Amino acid sequence: MKRKSLLMFCLFLVVAWLSGCATFETEKKAVPYRLTAQGTVIWEDEFEFLPPPPDWKLLRVETGENDINFGFTRSDPGTFPSMTTFAYDEEPFGCSTKFEDREREFFKRFLFNAILQFQVLEKKKVQVLGAEGFEVTVEGKDPIKKEKVRAKVVFGKRGERIVGFYITQWRPIDGTYDLSAFEVFDRFVKSFKLLKKSFYETL
């Protein structure tokens, strides 16, 4: 029988229900990207993608672990909370490497502080990052705050791990969604290329 080594790894933990929350913060220092003649962006020599139009502002998501998370945001016409944000996330909520399981895990925590009731509008397999991925479109409503959000999440594979793209568009409960923003997101996702192996693939 194969003998397992006894390397043990202990964590002394404080049960903090909200630990690991990402916070959005606009990056103040110079960003590590360059534009190509083809109009795409090369990000840290690791990713290449088609950027959104100039009215979208760049976002970095601070994780504290140097994982790559970035996206774009845009204020939309109309009253609060009218805005749209989309992002690439190396470590979307959840742990599973199977798309269906990861979707379930992800939506347990996605926008958890907004306390929304989500309705799944569409689920389908898609091509992303050169392989099969999984796309889920949902709408969440908060009748107390009188707000709603339409969101699309695309899961893809980077090596053995699942990465994610997501867009959220917030509106007052009686507001109208601007689906053209989702087309911008779709172009971003479709254009997204991995230029090198991730840290985890090199171990």
Interface ranges with other proteins (CB under 8 A): 2-15, 17, 19-20, 64-66, 91, 93-97, 105, 108, 160-161, 199-200, 203
Q: How far apart are CA 56 and CA 58, in angstroms?
A: 7
Q: Which one, 149 or 162, has the nearer CB to other proteins?
A: 162
Q: Which one, 90 or 147, has the nearer CB to other proteins?
A: 90
Q: Which one, 131 or 203, has the nearer CB to other proteins?
A: 203
Q: In whole angstroms, how close is the CB of 198 to other proteins at the nearest point?
A: 11
Q: In whole angstroms, how close is the CB of 65 to other proteins at the nearest point?
A: 6
- Amino acid identity, position 76: D
What are the angstrom distances between the C-alpha of 63 and each of 7, 34, 143, 196? 28, 23, 31, 21
Q: In whole angstroms, how close is the CB of 202 to other proteins at the nearest point?
A: 10
String of DSSP letters for 106-131: HHHHTTGGG--EEEEEEEEEEEETTE
Q: Which one, 51 or 94, has the nearer CB to other proteins?
A: 94
Q: In whole angstroms, how close is the CB of 95 to other proteins at the nearest point?
A: 4
Q: Which one, 141 or 158, has the nearer CB to other proteins?
A: 158
Q: In whole angstroms, how close is the CB of 124 to other proteins at the nearest point?
A: 24
Q: How far apart are CA 68 and CA 46, in angstroms?
A: 10
Q: Which one, 93 or 118, has the nearer CB to other proteins?
A: 93
Q: Residue 113, by phi and psi: left (phi above 0), alpha (psi -120 to 50) or beta?
A: alpha
Q: In whole angstroms, how close is the CB of 101 to other proteins at the nearest point?
A: 8
105 close to 155: Cβ distance less than 8 angstroms: no
From the list 80, 81, 33, 91, the residue with the least C-alpha distance to 58 is 33
Q: How far apart are CA 175 and CA 156, in angstroms?
A: 31
